[in-house]
Amino acid sequence: MTEGGQYRILLNNDYYVVLDGTKTLKTVHMEEENRIGYDNSEVRFGYNGAPIHGGTTISLHNDNLEIYYEITIVPASGRIKLIKHN
């Protein structure tokens, strides 16, 4: 990320969008058996990579395999923790 940039991830149950300011960088649609769970529908990152409004946890569910992943974004540092659940 470059200095002064603000990146955002907008979450929906079946897709997410990555933005640089208002410019859409990428839209990803989930396959039918996958879905996204979240507390906040938007995650913002400053130029240093740290989340702007604290951390959050996002979950990815696969209904066919009956597994899910928890992705935790740690406040202040922006460190990512990934945990797989069966």
Task: Give me the number of domains the chain comprises.
Answer: 1
> What is the Cα–Cα distance from 7 to 39, expressed in whole angstroms?
18
Residue 1 lies in a domain: no
> What is the Cα–Cα distance from 48 to 5, expressed in whole angstroms?
9
pTM (two decimals)? 0.80
DSSP character for 54? -
- List per-residue pLDDT tens for the chain, 86 residues long: 445 578 999 999 999 999 998 899 999 999 999 999 998 899 998 887 888 888 889 999 998 998 999 999 988 788 899 999 98
Residue 62 lies in a domain: yes
Residue 26 lies in a domain: yes
Q: What domain range includes position 19?
A: 7-85
What HEC string does 26-52 produce? EEEECCCCEEEEECCCEEEECCCCCEC
Q: What confidence score (pLDDT) does residue 4 get?
A: 53
Residue 79 lies in a domain: yes
Q: Is the distance from CB of 17 to CB of 23 less than 8 angstroms?
A: no
At 7 the three-state DSSP class reads: strand
